[in-house]
Copies of this chain bind each other. A is one copy, B any other.
Amino acid sequence: MKLKPIEFPACGTCENRCQSVFYKLNQDELNDLSNCKGCNQYLKGNFLFYEGARPTGVHCIHSGIVKIYKQTSDGKYQIIKLAGAGDIVGYEALFSNGFYKTFAQVIEETLVCYIPKNQFMLLLKDNYAFMATLMHQLSLDVIESENRIISIATKPVRERVAESLLQLQEFFGKKNKSKNPIEITISREELAAFNGTATETVIRILSEFRQGRMIDLGKRSIHIINHKKLTGIAFQYNN
């Protein structure tokens, strides 16, 4: 495999900044960040961190996609969320003063900046707006997690898959603005792990959605072609 040296991205000119938790930093703070951060490229399948490891900083994704998941005792795994450009990863573990409770594995070649803990904490202490942004972000994470609890606990698989396709379309649309229509590029197995179901079940439901002309199935991608109908299934308007 041919490798090129990384183009080290400066925080001050990062195109993700305005969609990230760092959007309230001033130029001096951004320069400080740039001067102390690390940067690394991860190929598909590699890990940003493992469950059980000690966090020593925060990962900020510059490009690519990472899945955050947990393993279960019987060898299966459950995806908690996906993270893409502009997202920071692993900060709950940092703030909880514990160890990582999840795995973070790359599913699309990813460029990641790494901000050491003490620099991050310094920012938090000195910049009230930044702190407020982070509290805001953590709150949104809590709310999103709670929403997923509801979906998984109360909805049948078909509705969950429909809902997750809508979420994934939004995610991939944001992370990959060039493509239209938006392509959801995720394996059946990952889609199953995201929905807490079996791969075969996802496959059956997808082909059912295709027959209902709600989605198109490319070789390695899914397009939503009837957003409204899929939303109807996801949220059961037909009651």
Contact = CB atoms under 8 A, between A and B. Distances in A.
Interface stretch (A15-23, A73-81, A206-214): A73-81
B92 A139 contact: yes
A72 B72 CA distance: 27
A149 B80 CA distance: 8
How many of these chains are in the complex?
Answer: 2
A136 interface: yes
Interface in A42-83: 70, 72-74, 76, 78, 80
A150 B153 CA distance: 11
Interface in A137-167: 138-143, 145-150, 152-155
Query: What secondary structure prevails in chain A residues at the interface with B?
Result: helix
A132 to B, nearest CB: 8
Contacts of A140: 96
Contacts of A94: 139
Interface in A96-120: 96-98, 101-102
A39 interface: no
Q: Taking each of A70, A135, A146, which has the highest tally of chain B beta carbons within 10 Å of its own beta carbon? A: A146
A8 interface: no
Given A148-B149, A152-B152, 14 more contacts: A72-B150, A72-B154, A73-B235, A73-B239, A95-B132, A96-B136, A96-B139, A96-B140, A101-B143, A101-B147, A134-B135, A141-B142, A142-B142, A154-B196
B97 A146 contact: no
Size bracket, chain A contacts:
35 or more
Contacts of A124: 131, 135
A35 interface: no
A95 to B, nearest CB: 4
Give the top 6 A-B pairs by smallest Cβ distance, nearest first. A153-B196, A145-B145, A95-B139, A96-B139, A138-B138, A92-B139
A219 interface: no
A14 B135 CA distance: 26
A177 interface: no
Contacts of A239: 73-74
A73 to B, nearest CB: 5
Q: Taking each of A142, A143, A148, which has the highest tally of chain B beta carbons within 10 Å of its own beta carbon? A: A142
